[in-house]
Every structure is written in C-alpha cells, then in structure tokens.
Amino acid sequence: MTTQVQAAPQESSSEHWLAVRPRLVLASAFMLFLELALIRWTGSNIVHLSYFTNFVLLGSFLGIGLGFLRVGRTKRQPYYSPVVLAILVIVVLAFPVTVNRDTEGVLYWTSLSLEGPPAWVTLPLVFIAAALALMGPAELVGRCFPELPRLEAYRYDLIGSLTGIAAFTALSFLSAPPVIWGTIAAACFLLLLTPRPWVPYWGLVAVPALIVAALLAAESVTAGALWSPYYKVTYKRLPYPMPVYDISVNGIPHQQAMPAATRLQVERQYALPYERAVAPPREVLIVGAGSGTDVAIALSKGAGTVDAVEIDPKLRELGGQLHPDRPYSDPRVTTHITDGRAFLEQTGRKFDLILFALPDSLTLVPGASSLRLESYLFTEEAIKAARAHLKPGGAFSMYNYYREPWLVDRLAWTVQNAFGHRPCVDVVSTAGQQAVITAGVTPAAQRCAGEWPGAAAGTPSPAHDDRPFLYLKDRTIPMIYLITLGLILIVSLLAVRVVAGPYRRMRPYADLFLLGVGFLLLETKSVTGFALLFGTTWVVNAVVFAGVLIAVLAAVEVTRRFRTPPLTVMYGVLLGGLLLAWLVPNAWLLSLPVPLRAVTAVTIAFLPIFAANVVFSKRFAESADATTSFGANLLGAMVGGCLEYLALLIGYQGLLIVAAVLYLGAFALLPRKSAALV
C-alpha cells in the first residue's frame, strides 16, 4: 500500500483567500459546469460531435482523472487550463466543421460536403483540449482533498457537482447563449487561480479568460442565432416570392417553414398520409411538429384538432414567429413540448391519424453512447403504442428521407409487426429514399397504391427498446468506433504514465478503478432507462444526472454517520440490486401509472448505485492516498464510457451483466484487510 501523499505547499492551499470548503465546492461546481458546457458548445460548431458527444465526455473524464493524479507533483497553479480553453475556442470558431456523415455501418441524416478541417485533425484536437481544460479544475479540486477528512472532502465535491448541474440546467431553461457560459468560466478561473489579488501570474489567467468571454460574446450576438437546450438554431429567409425560412441546427440544414400549399405542391409526400387513410382524419397527432408546416397541412386537410408534439422549444418558438400560415395561432392546435414516445405512453387520447413527421434529432442524448433523441420513437414497442392510440378506422403514417432502401424496409417491417398486416409504402423518390409508410388500424382502413412486398434479403430486423439503434444496420460495433476508442485508450495510458509516473502508484487501487468502470455503466443504464420511461428531453436527462449524484451523496452521508455492513455484505446488496434491475422488464414499468412508475423506476435504478457508492465510500475512506485512489476511480469511469458501446452488441440490459462482472472483479481485487471493513 502506498503512503499518504499530502499536497505540496502551494499558493492555492494555505494562502488562498477562499477557505478550503467553499473553494472545494466552487471548484467542483466549475469542473462539472465546464464539462457540460464543452459538450454542448463544441457539438454546436463541430458536426462530428453532434453524433459523438461521448468523445468530449471521455476527454473530460481523462482530464479529471489526470488532474487528481497530478496533485502533490507540482507547486505551480494549473495556469495551462484557461490558456488551452482559449485556444480551443479560437480554433473551433475559426474552423467550424460540417461533414459528410456517410460512415460505414452507421447512418446519419442530411449528407453534407466536407467543410473545415478533416475529422482526424479535429477530433484528436478536441479530445486533448477537453482533457487539458478539465485537468486544471480537477487539480484544484484534488488539492482540497488532503486538507479534509476523506468522506468530508468527497461530500463537498458532490455538493459542488450538484451545484454545477443545477447552474447549467437553469441556463438551459433560460436558453442562455454561450457568452453566459464563457463569462461564468472566466469568473471561476479568476476566483480559483488567483489566490491573492494582482499576483504576478494574474495575467496568465485574466487574458485567456477574457478572450474566451469576448469570443463567445461575439458568437452569441450573431444575427439569427438561438440557443435551445439541444442545438444552436439559426435561420434565414430564402429568396423566393413567398415567405420561406430555412432553419439549421448545429450548422446542419434541418427544416423549412413555408406555406402548406407550396409544400404540398413541391413535395408530394406530405399529402400521402391523408390519401392513404380511408377516413378523413378529424383528430390528428403530429410528432415532430417543428416549425409548423406539417401542422399547417393537417389544418388544410380539414383536421378539427391537431396535437403538435415537438421536443425543442426554440423550434416551436420559431414556428410561431416565422411560419407564414401561422398554424400555431390556430385555436384547433394544441402544442406539447415533450418527447414523442413519452407523449404516447402518457396520454389517454385517441386519434384518427398519428403522423411521425420527419422526427430526426441530429444529436445524441448526453451521457449515452449512441442513443439519439428519437431512438425510442422507432422501435416496435413504440409503433405498437401508436397503434393503441388510434380510433377505429384510424391510420398511422411516417415519412422522411431515409437515404437507404434497407432502412425503409426495416421500418415497414416494424410497422407490419406492430399492426399485424402489411403497410402501404410509397417511395416518392429514390434520390435520398424519400418515402411514406402508412398503416390503417385494420387493412380496411388503408388504401395502398401498392402494398409493401415484404422485407428484402438482408434487411435488419425491427429495432426494440433494449437495442433502439435504428440506423445501425448490423449487430456490430462500427469500425470507426473501435478505432476511435482504441486510440483514446492508448493516449490515456500514455498520459497517465507521463502525469502520474509508474503505474504501480495506482496498483493498490485496482478495485477502485473497476468500481469506476461499473459505475459509469450503471449511470448509462439509468440515463437510457429514464429516457424510455419518461422521455429523452433535456429536463429528464438533467434530473437523472442530479438523481445519480444525490444517490451517491446519500451513500456518503450514510457511510459517514452510521455503522454500515461490511464490504462483503454491501457487495451482496449491490449484486442483488443489479439482478433486480435485470429481471424487471421495461414493458412492465411502462404499463404502470406515471407516479407509480417514477417511484418504482427510481428504486430499481438507484438501489445498485447507492450500494456501489457505499462500497466506494468505505473503501475510499481507508485508502492511504486520497487523490491517487480517487483519480484511479475517475479513470475507471472513462474506461466505462468506452464500454458503453457494448450496448450496440448486447443491448442496454446486457450492460447490467457487464457491470456485475466488473463488480465481481473489484471484489476479487479487494485487499483482505478491507473486506471486513465496517
């Protein structure tokens, strides 16, 4: 066992104007806030990161782990952190990236030509910059740990993390632009890195911090830019005789607000759902209402009521302001800002027509490796939920530019399984596979120009809630992921060796490393599970992350204040919680009323998280080196972020089995003297 490593004398410790506890809370809050802001902002300017948000997350985990491992090895403040952040902001704003996302094995929407630096330049730069930017705040957090008892330091670290989540969530609710994020980051750097006013190094912090704030201020005042909780939304009027607005998200052309009559004239697909339904629909549900064109078309077709579901409040706001038909001002229209699948699971209404109107999110759910905002909308279970909300004689329809024939067939197969008969499939254009898939609640409720002939050879089977990866053709981990994750792990190994010295320094904490790997998988399962049960909205995501931290904080408080069972017993509770989570099916949870569903889901999800963190807290409290043991745990979380991609092969329930194996490994590596720890 290594000996305790105390912090070396340094400016930020004994001489800092902030006492250790408030300094720890501030540094922890800033660390998490900066991580969330980087994920959000880089994805809005670099299209790669709209689909690989975990890339920045993994870089953040690496940087945080390295920051803790660096404690005690230098007296200098981490002045490099604001400098790196300023360089990253300059480079990203100078060289934004849009890309052609035709990547083997993974399908993305809206194929664009390459503009900006190639991926092999941009992605490593962002990964390294994210790691270095987060490494500084993490080092500041780590320097506080030796000054406090183990669990007390961990407690204040968690309180700070919750504060950071709350701050970023509040700014998301207020649709705050990046200048606010940059100003907060600049202020935190100045408060944390200048222990005394006007020290010689003050300029090293002030200059890059002010550069970050100034550049983000310039970006924030860009004409036509809005910041939703999901995207950077921009719009412009096109040079047509009638008013037509082009709306882009994160630099990707996304939709157009144009008169319903014009849309029906130039794109036939928008009229087909009404032509394929036998009965004229009076009550219509539109999922993916966006800027309102589909709503305007439904009204023009004689709908008596339209329920418009849109997940992004800013897209709905733009529709209300810009759409020439003003569909959202019509008294027949009711707007719901929520996730489409969640609306289907929670509403008691029934409809004559349910329409999935191009609901492609162009982004991933933060904290989940390959889960998109619309992933749970195209599973077989989701289409069955839609069928359950149709009136007798009603119809369901979806349309989009599907780009691949196999994807059209996969969705048609999904609809066939859900409805029990073959749907109508109209391929309007083979360029981009523009298609409409329509099914009546019975065969008599649909009228097809040509019935779907059935799945072609090699068509992938329908997606399901456990593996909701509609755009992944084969049951595999695409090569681009494997190469990227392999390079990340190699870089991480080298970085740990350079920063922390010989690996034997962390060898006594191999069990804490595995606890970090397992915990990240549990967190991923919680995020994806709650997204299915309550929606993939940013609110649900923020609540889940906060809930996980509250469960961890509860475990710390229980361990600090009460006599808890030995680690051997707690490992048994942990494995029992994993077994319970694996045995309870999502379909059963979805059948429960929402309040009961919430209580049950929270209990099932957070029991193993609580038990795992009691194990960690007890083990961490008796560790000989606080910062090294904590750093090993954080690096384990980074590896867990890589293992999330196993869900592409085994599904999200399968991650529970992987987590169980990891926790058994941690138990096997537990030092003998710790096994009976009380």
DSSP string, 45-98: HBTHHHH-HHHHHHHHHHHHHHHHHHTTS-SS--THHHHHHHHHHHHHHHS-BB
Q: Is the pLDDT of residue 6 over 60?
A: no
Least trusted range by pLDDT, from 226-230, 275-279, 386-390: 226-230
Q: Is the pLDDT of residue 3 over 60?
A: no
Q: What is the tens place of the pLDDT at every residue in 46-62?
A: 876 766 667 888 899 99
Which pLDDT score, from 0 to 100, does residue 367 have?
59
Exposure string (b/e) for 214-231, b if CB count within 10 Å is 16 or more?
bbbeebbeeeebbbbbbb
Q: Is the pLDDT of residue 622 over 80?
A: yes
Q: Is the pLDDT of residue 198 over 90?
A: no
The alpha-helical segments, DSSP class H, found in 442-509 are 479-500
Q: Is the pLDDT of residue 128 over 80?
A: yes
213: Cβ contacts below 8 Å, ≥ 6 apart: 179, 182, 183, 185, 186
Average pLDDT for residues 600-618, to the nearest whole number? 95
Question: Residue 461 carries which DSSP code?
Answer: P
Q: What is the tens place of the pLDDT at every residue in 286-333?
A: 999 999 999 999 999 999 999 999 999 999 999 999 999 999 999 999
The residues pairing with 97 across neighbouring beta strands, listed in sequence order, are: 46
Which pLDDT score, from 0 to 100, does residue 183 have?
93
Least trusted range by pLDDT, from 232-246, 346-360, 413-427, 511-525: 232-246
Question: Residue 474 carries which DSSP code?
Answer: S
Average pLDDT for residues 557-564, to the nearest whole number? 91
- E strands in 338-389: 351-357
> In this predicted model, which residue has the larger pLDDT, 185 or 53?
185
Which pLDDT score, from 0 to 100, does residue 317 have?
93
Average pLDDT for residues 518-526, to the nearest whole number? 93
Could you tell me the two tokens for 129? 């910059």
Q: Is the pLDDT of residue 578 over 80?
A: yes
- What's the mean per-residue pLDDT of the chain? 87
Mode of pairing for the β-strands spanning 434-440 and 424-429: antiparallel
Distance between CA 493 and CA 507 in Å, rounded? 14
Q: Closest Cα to residue 391, out of 353, 418, 356?
A: 353
> In this predicted model, which residue has the larger pLDDT, 220 or 595?
595
Q: Is the pLDDT of residue 468 over 70?
A: yes
Confidence of residue 614 (pLDDT cuts 50, 70, 90): very high
Q: Is the pLDDT of residue 164 over 60?
A: yes
Q: Is the pLDDT of residue 556 over 80?
A: yes
Which pLDDT score, from 0 to 100, does residue 296 have?
96
Average pLDDT for residues 564-577, to the nearest whole number? 94
454: Cβ contacts below 8 Å, ≥ 6 apart: 422
Q: Is the pLDDT of residue 555 over 60?
A: yes
Q: Closest Cα to residue 655, out of 584, 597, 601, 578?
A: 578
Which pLDDT score, from 0 to 100, does residue 548 have?
92
Q: What percent of the chain clears pLDDT 90, i.e. is strictly above it?
A: 57
Q: What percent of the chain clears pLDDT 70, i.e. is strictly above it?
A: 89
Q: Is the pLDDT of residue 119 over 80?
A: no
Least trusted range by pLDDT, from 186-190, 256-260, 318-322, 674-678: 674-678
Which pLDDT score, from 0 to 100, does residue 63 have?
93
Least trusted range by pLDDT, from 93-102, 126-135, 295-304: 93-102
Confidence of residue 361 (pLDDT cuts 50, 70, 90): low
Average pLDDT for residues 485-491, to the nearest whole number? 89
632: Cβ contacts below 8 Å, ≥ 6 apart: 65, 506, 509, 510, 512, 513, 516
Mode of pairing for the β-strands spanning 424-429 and 283-287: unpaired
